Structure 1
Amino acid sequence: NLNTHNTASLYAAFSAEEARRLAQRLEIHHTPKHGSWLNIAEIELSALKRQCLAGRIDCIERMRTQVQAWNEDRNNRQSQVDWRFTTKDARIKLKRLYPKF
């Protein structure tokens, strides 16, 4: 959600014709600034590090092979994140951020 994540930034970087051409090809989707999707991505990267990349790997091809095998296994098992932070929990923890009427 940076200021560069809109079509106006294209007009600052490119000629009007090129910016218009690029803007017509884009579909911008804004994600939450503090969204749980980021936490899930971090959890997945942490699992990759712990389960696959914990030891020393002496060449890039071996690392690619191991990561690909790990990724296929995760996908085949349909691994999911057990998200436990509920809306109720958020309302309690973040009570100070909610408006008071």
Structure 2
Amino acid sequence: MDGRYADCERITLICDNLNTHTKGAFYEVFPAERARQYVRRIEFVYTPKHGSWLNVAECELGCLTRQCLAGRRVGELRLLQEEIAAWSVDLNARQRGVDWQMTAEDARRKLKSVDPKSTL
């Protein structure tokens, strides 16, 4: 915030629902006055617990770990990159997708309390 975003009046920070992603975390790391300056410039936006792109990414990383890397130690970066690339090509060839259960109308109804002006 003091570097790349120093000239920004307001910063929107998209967070997952990890318990460390709070305003209080700033007060644990910085002196109170500095933390207060940062927090006043940040708009915290939290993703839905079970419907965000982050949840999908976490699922994919879990699959990568279980299907490609479980029980192994890959000692060279080049070999790790090759293994992950092969796994990724195989996975993408299957054209697997995410089965979103929530319709836009469901999302509007459920998220109205979080963002009443949202039109999704």
TM-score (norm 1): 0.50
Hey, which of these two has a bigger chunk of strand by percent?
2
Distance 1:52 1:76, change over 3 A: same
Once residues 84 and 6 of structure 2 are traced to their aligned partners in structure 1, the CA distance between those partners, rounded to angstroms, is 36
* Equivalent residue letter for 2:96: S
Residue 84 (structure 1) aligned with residue 83 (structure 2): no
Hey, which of these two has a bigger chunk of helix by percent?
1
Aligned length: 77
Once residues 38 and 5 of structure 1 are traced to their aligned partners in structure 2, the CA distance between those partners, rounded to angstroms, is 24
Which protein has greater RCO, CA pairs closer than 8 Å, 6+ apart?
2
Q: Which residue of 1 aligns with 2:72?
A: 56
Percent identity, aligned pairs only? Answer: 44
- The runs of 5 or more residues in structure 1 that have no matched partner are 10-31
Q: CA deviation at 1:83?
A: 2.4
Bigger CA radius of gyration: 1
**Contact 1:57–1:63 at 8 Å: present in 2 too?**
no
- The runs of 5 or more residues in structure 2 that have no matched partner are 9-44
